[in-house]
A and B are shown apart, each in its own frame.
Chain A
Amino acid sequence: GAVVSQHPSWVICKSGTSVKIECRSLDFQATTMFWYRQFPKQSLMLMATSNEGSKATYEQGVEKDKFLINHASLTLSTLTVTSAHPEDSSFYICSASGSRTDTQYFGPGTRLTVL
């Protein structure tokens, strides 16, 4: 099956710093990538959708200036959490889709802890 990787798998940072998370589709070209956030014991919440070469579409309530998404190639999307605060601590998960009719394949997730 399709494989999606994320890096890093976990990160701890100080409040006010920025953190970049990478999402890669390893064996297929991802025309669309998605970013989710998941708090403990809760379901996944979609943050944004990104298509290769175009600006990301953010869900209502997600600050686009705080969560910068770049989808520069068909195999790589990045999420940068700018000026991170403790309330941004969460599990961030990306997924990728190879075509409009393809299902989503999820990465392993990145645990972000902001001190």
Chain B
Amino acid sequence: GNSVTQMEGPVTLSEEAFLTINCTYTATGYPSLFWYVQYPGEGLQLLLKATKADDKGSNKGFEATYRKETTSFHLEKGSVQVSDSAVYFCALEERGAQKLVFGQGTRLTINP
């Protein structure tokens, strides 16, 4: 079945550091890929998405590129802020299914 594997956390960085959170997936067909963010006490917010190979999703300084050849969708940000502290989830959606398969999440803490 479809699955998503994320980089083990927690991840702790200093403000303005470079961030990478790795995500790889296993899927049949050509899924859409997503990154969601969950702040303390809140639900999930869509951070960015990509729907086909080589697409780059971006939002709020975060980027991720859909790499079909390596089945990856790594999340990157050039300079993190304290406000980026949250749990990040990589997810895939089978084409048209509107059902998400999530990774286990990566807790990110940014220290000032």
Q: Do A and B bind each other?
A: no
User: Which residues of B come within 8 Å of A, CB atoms?
Assistant: none
A residues near B (Cβ < 8 Å) are none
